[in-house]
Amino acid sequence: MTKKNILICIDRDGTMIYDGGSYHLGKQRNWKKLIKFLRGVNQGIKELRKINKVKIYMITNQPGPAIKEFPLLNEKRAIEVCEYLMRLLKEKGTELDGYELCGKASLDYVKRRKDRYTFDKKLVGNFSCAKPKPGMVYNALKKEGWNKKNTKIYVIGDRLSDVQCGINAGGLGIFVPFGNRSEEFEKVKKIKSKKKYISKTFLDACKFIKEKESQI
């Protein structure tokens, strides 16, 4: 039996880089100085690279361009941030195959943040790219010329929406806890699906995938 392709999609903020003062990264003039890669990211991606027929993408929801209070954070800046992160990883000897960015705000996000921000209505909606919808995963598949039938999909992230995105794409959603967001952990625990895995760290998540694929 021919081994399937492996697509691993990794969330950005709170999974690969610190998500605190750099929240909505790009809204600040000094945003480059705020980037801090989390422990185990470099080593974890190197573990994933050992898997046969694997492609690794960064996928990130970035509603910041839709927020009027962030004049510096437009779609162009959001792309610049992703491109810069890709270069930093390459300099560390850890190259990704690509990235997908959703620089729009979902209706759910606007509902949760409407008391804090005002939004550009053109960038608010029920977009297929916004996690937990799997649009960014499908875009990555398309770029590789792959289809769901011949590909195993993994999505790694620190939020419920990341895990749901993996499940919605027909793959496995892997939760990596960040900081003290116990509410996200509790939400993930309640998902009644065998297509989820709760890891202790990013490196643990990567080793889990590697070991799972080595058994096939």
- Count of domains in the chain? 1
Q: Cα–Cα distance between 66 and 62 in angstroms, integer?
A: 9
Amino acid occupying residue 21: G
Report the chain (216 residues): mean pLDDT per 10 consecutive residues. Answer: 88 94 86 94 96 97 97 97 97 95 96 94 97 98 96 97 97 92 89 94 97 84
Residue 94 parent element (H or E): none
Write down the pLDDT at residue 21. 57
Q: Which two tokens stand for residue 91?
A: 């300099």
Query: What range does the domain containing 32 cover?
Result: 5-214
Q: Cα–Cα distance between 50 and 182 in angstroms, integer?
A: 32
CA atoms within 13 A on the CB side of 199: 24
pTM of structure: 0.95
Q: What is the dihedral of CA 147, 3, 158, 78, to 10 degrees?
A: -50
Write down the pLDDT at residue 216. 61
Write down the pLDDT at residue 3. 81
**Which CATH number belongs to the domain containing residue 80 in this structure?**
3.40.50.1000
**Cβ-contact 56, 45 below 8 angstroms:** yes
Write down the pLDDT at residue 2. 66
* b/e 188-202 (16+ beta carbons within 10 angstroms → b): beebeeebbbbbeeb
Write down the pLDDT at residue 20. 78
10 SS3 class? strand
- Residue 78 to residues 23, 94, 113, 156, 190: CA-CA distances in angstroms? 12, 21, 19, 21, 33
Helix then strand then coil, % of the chain, to nearest 5: 40, 20, 40
